[in-house]
Chains A and B, each alone.
Chain A
Amino acid sequence: MESFKLESLRFFQGKRGKRIYQQRYLLLMSIPFAAWCFAFMYLPLFGWIMAFQNFRLMGRVTLRSFWEAEWIGLANFRELFADERFYTALRNTLGMSFLGITIGFVVPIIFALLINEMRVGLFKRFVQTVSYMPHFISWVVAAGMITFMLATTGPLNSVLIAVGLIDRPIAFLSTGEMFWGIITGSEIWKSTGWNAIIFLAAISGIDLQLYEAAEADGAGRFKKMWHVTLPGISNVIIVILIMNIGWLMNVGFERQMLLGNPAIREWAEVLDVYILRFGIGTGRFSYGTAIGIFRSVVSIMLLLAANGIARKTGRGGVI
């Protein structure tokens, strides 16, 4: 007992105690934020137990309501894997994500290469400045514009009719088969310029001597792009690609929610929207959580796999 007291006394007076006292301001400046981070970022992870319960929202949510909910084991997951609507949502998520990380990934790279080839001057600066602009408007505004542009009486249909490509207007947003394309296109419209910034920054870091050497070897403009510029930014490309693969299951839901409509649910509903409409909309929180867990687990596995492959090829991973 005596020795224990001595020990604890030493603990507060010893090196560590002194350090705590010395760093008291730093602690004061960081512990509240660590607590905040735990409460808003990590506490939700404990909410995953809802997936194994039959959780109902009654009045105020407290920690006890999680404790008292009825445990039902894996029933939610069993139901999930037998649910046709879940598979449709999964297919839509993967489909749109895939288009996003292929086309939506290549276009900014091409754009950066083209910008890089432009002659330095006012026009180049203007193009760049304008190209970031759509990134800064909300998806609500963007979706409003896109809906109007694609409306049956909207500008796109008018132009297509005027040049004689079609006879009658196409209802773009009511045609389910076109939805994936519209989502990908809207992403390209909104983010190409912004996503190209990072590639442009990488390009500007390439040693100019490499270009001179290539020129001396008789390489033309496109050969230089292919053999100098692209390899020069390949590390950045790989890193961004890995990050995107980790986000494969997180295709986002704003666009799908704002541009989609119930009539084309078959093509427009992604996992997040499904969670929202079904989980929160009809009060089936436990079921929605199960979908969320499935999504998170798959995306972490994808991220780790992509990271591993990148390590193997000797490019280094991000994590």
Chain B
Amino acid sequence: MTQKSFKRLDSRDKIFHIILFLIMLWVLFITLFPFLNVLAISFNDSADTARGGVGIFPRVFTLENYTQLARFPAMWTGLYISLARTIIGTALGLFCTSMLAYVISRQDFMFRKAITTMFILTMYVSGGLIPHFMVIRMFGLNNTFWVYIIPTLISAWNLIIIRSFIDSLPYSLQESAFIDGANDLTIFFKIILPLCLPVLMTVALFIAVFQWNSWFDTYLFAPFNESITTLQFELMKILEGAATGGQLGDAGNIQMAHNVSPLSLRMAATVVTMLPMLLAYPFVQRFFVSGMTLGAVKE
């Protein structure tokens, strides 16, 4: 659709668009201000921050908050574990989800209906928190790294997104491969996977964001195991410690850093925790949107 240039609109339309512009500016400000403010404070001198009034730019620039933060081993473990679960969880999750999605896209598969229904129902029914907790313990996953990966291997939502993408591919491609003597595994790896690249990218990002942002599984299954603690969980402890003023292991110690106020450290930790997201966001956000609409159409 072509649109008239702004000058050629009549005056009522002009007023409407000016008001709309102002509303959107306000929306932008509300959305962005917390991010920019936290970023500014994390780079601002701690003593100066205490005077208040730091806006969206640091007044007295310093890296001290970050160098102090780097002295806490828990932050490094957290970073390492969070990266590990994001990478491993995404790779495994993507592999399993796409494989299953291919199988349930096959009209001739004998358990197609049964398995599809089985997964879709999980979107509506769940056993609840405590039975889930017990099952994880029954399998001996608590206090292990794999509690981050295995229980969330496949999500019904991602499964549907990939399946609807495969459904949209012409079946004749598979048919001709069958005639050439390929088996189902070969077809999946050699034909389906390469064609699915765009949707796999989207789902990979969904899983990665989910993995990176998870904190509750640590809280529930490994709260005292410092060797597999995640960055999000460490940040939670720091923030919680700030709220109650209590001493929570490492999180308590973090309040006692030299020359740097707890607030500045908290802000630096917050920035580190969301950094991968913020860096990747501008480049990948279009994949998220396409995935969202793809999944929604099929719902």
Contact = CB atoms under 8 A, between A and B. Distances in A.
Nearest to A254: B216
Nearest to B244: A261
Contacts of B233: 140
A303 B292 contact: no
Contact of A201 (B102, B128, B134, B293): B293
Given A148-B38, A303-B124, A127 B102 contact: no
A293 B104 CA distance: 31
Contacts of A119: 3, 6, 17
Contacts of A127: 24, 27-28
A47 B135 contact: yes
A304 to B, nearest CB: 10
Interface string A55-72: 001001111000000000
Interface stretch (B58-66, B68-76, B115-123, B196-204): B115-123
A285 interface: yes
B53 A30 contact: no
A61 B136 CA distance: 9
A286 B168 CA distance: 47
Given A47-B135, A136-B277, A30 B103 contact: yes
A134 B31 contact: yes
Given A44-B132, A45-B127, A147 B138 contact: no
Contact of A144 (B20, B115, B266): B266
B260 interface: no
B189 to A, nearest CB: 11
Nearest to B132: A44
A146 interface: yes
A17 to B, nearest CB: 12
A43 B299 CA distance: 26
B292 A145 contact: no
Interface string A194-219: 10011001000000100000000000
B24 A143 contact: no
B122 A41 contact: yes
B1 interface: yes
A143 to B, nearest CB: 7
Interface string B186-229: 00100000000000000000000100111110001000000000
Interface in B1-42: 1, 3, 6, 13, 16-17, 20-21, 23-24, 27-28, 30-35, 37-38
Contacts of A47: 127-128, 130-132, 134-135
Interface in A1-56: 19-20, 23, 25-30, 33-34, 36-48, 50
Interface size class of A (residues with CB under 8 A): 35 or more
B270 interface: yes
Contacts of B16: 117, 221
Contact of A292 (B103, B129, B296): B129
Interface in A71-123: 111, 114, 117-120, 123
Interface stretch (B169-177, B247-255, B281-289): B281-289
B183 A141 contact: no
Interface residues of B, number: 92
Contacts of A44: 126-128, 131-132, 134-135
A133 B279 CA distance: 11
Contacts of B125: 45, 296, 300
B26 to A, nearest CB: 11
Interface in B104-161: 104, 106, 108-111, 115, 118-119, 122, 124-135, 137-140, 150-151, 153-154
A48 B235 contact: no
A137 interface: yes
A145 B32 CA distance: 11
B124 A246 contact: yes
A261 B24 CA distance: 34
Contacts of B128: 44, 47-48, 275, 289, 292-293, 295-296
B184 A279 contact: no
Given A39-B135, A47-B132, 8 more contacts: A41-B127, A46-B131, A138-B214, A140-B213, A140-B236, A141-B273, A144-B239, A246-B124
Interface of A: 19-20, 23, 25-30, 33-34, 36-48, 50, 57, 60-63, 111, 114, 117-120, 123, 126-127, 129-134, 136-141, 143-149, 153, 155, 158, 189, 193-194, 197-198, 201, 208, 221, 236, 239, 246, 254, 258, 261, 272, 275-276, 279-280, 285, 288-289, 292-293, 295-296, 300, 303, 318-319
Nearest 10 pairs of A and B residues by beta carbon = A44-B127, A47-B131, A292-B128, A138-B213, A44-B131, A25-B184, A30-B103, A145-B34, A61-B137, A61-B138
